[in-house]
Amino acid sequence: MGRRATDQRRAERSAELARRGTELADATLRGDRRALARLLTAVEDRSPVAESAMRRLYRKAGRAQLVGITGPPGSGKSTLVSALIGQLRGAGRSVAVVAVDPSSPITGGALLGDRVRMQSYAGDRDVFIRSMAARGHAGGLASTTGAAVAVLDAAGFDHVFIETVGTGQSEVEVAAAADTTVVLEAPEMGDEVQAIKAGLLEVADIVVVNKGDRPGALRTASQLRAMLSAAAPAAIDDRPRPKRPEVLVTTATTGEGVPELVAALERRRDAGAAGSAGPARLARAEAQVWAIATERLRARLHDRDHRDATEATLRQVADHEIDPYAGADRLLGEATET
Ligand SMILES: Nc1nc2c(ncn2[C@@H]2O[C@H](COP(=O)(O)OP(=O)(O)OP(=O)(O)O)[C@@H](O)[C@H]2O)c(=O)[nH]1
Ligand SMILES: [Mg+2]
Residue 332 in this model has a pLDDT that exceeds 60: yes
pTM of the complete model: 0.86
Q: Give tens-digit pLDDT for 239-280.
A: 554 457 899 999 999 999 999 999 999 998 877 655 566 777
Looking at residue 314, its pLDDT comes to 97
Taking the centre of ligand 2 as the mean of its atom positions, its distance from the CA of residue 93, in whole angstroms, is 22
Q: Give tens-digit pLDDT for 108-159.
A: 445 545 555 566 777 889 999 988 876 555 556 777 888 999 999 999 999 9
Ligand in nearest proximity to the CA of 70:
1
Q: Is 240 in the pocket of ligand 1 (CB under 6 A)?
A: no
Q: Is 215 in the pocket of ligand 1 (CB under 6 A)?
A: no
Question: How confident is the model over 3-30, as a mean pLDDT?
Answer: 93
Q: Give tens-digit pLDDT for 24-36.
A: 999 999 999 999 9
State how far Cα 211 lies from the chain centre. 26
pLDDT cut 70: percent of the chain above it: 80
Query: CA 201, 269, 56: angle at the middle one, nearest 5?
Result: 105
Same domain, 89 and 223: yes
Choose one of 274, 295, 318: the last residue of a domain: 274
| Domain membership flag for residue 282 | no
Instruction: Residue count of the chain, please give it.
Output: 338
Q: Is 284 in the pocket of ligand 1 (CB under 6 A)?
A: no
Which atom from ligand 1 is nearest to the alpha carbon of 114?
16
Ligand in nearest proximity to the CA of 71:
1
| Kind and range of the H or E run holding 108 | none
| Domain membership flag for residue 281 | no
Same domain, 237 and 310: no
Q: Is 70 in the pocket of ligand 1 (CB under 6 A)?
A: no
Looking at residue 192, its pLDDT comes to 45
Looking at residue 164, its pLDDT comes to 85
User: Rounded mean pLDDT of the chain?
Assistant: 84
What's the CATH code of the domain at 171? 3.40.50.300
Same domain, 113 and 180: yes
> In terms of Cα–Cα distance, which of 130, 133, 176 is closest to 157?
130
| Domain membership flag for residue 150 | yes
**Structural domain harbouring 242:** 61-274
Same domain, 53 and 141: no
Domain count, the chain: 3
Name beta bridge partners: 101: 133
| Kind and range of the H or E run holding 101 | strand 95-101
Q: Is 76 in the pocket of ligand 1 (CB under 6 A)?
A: yes
CA pair distance 171, 103, nearest whole angstrom: 12
Same domain, 185 and 238: yes
CA pair distance 97, 33, nearest whole angstrom: 14
Same domain, 149 and 108: yes
Q: Give tens-digit pLDDT for 197-206.
A: 666 777 888 9
State how far Cα 252 lies from the chain centre. 23
| Domain membership flag for residue 200 | yes
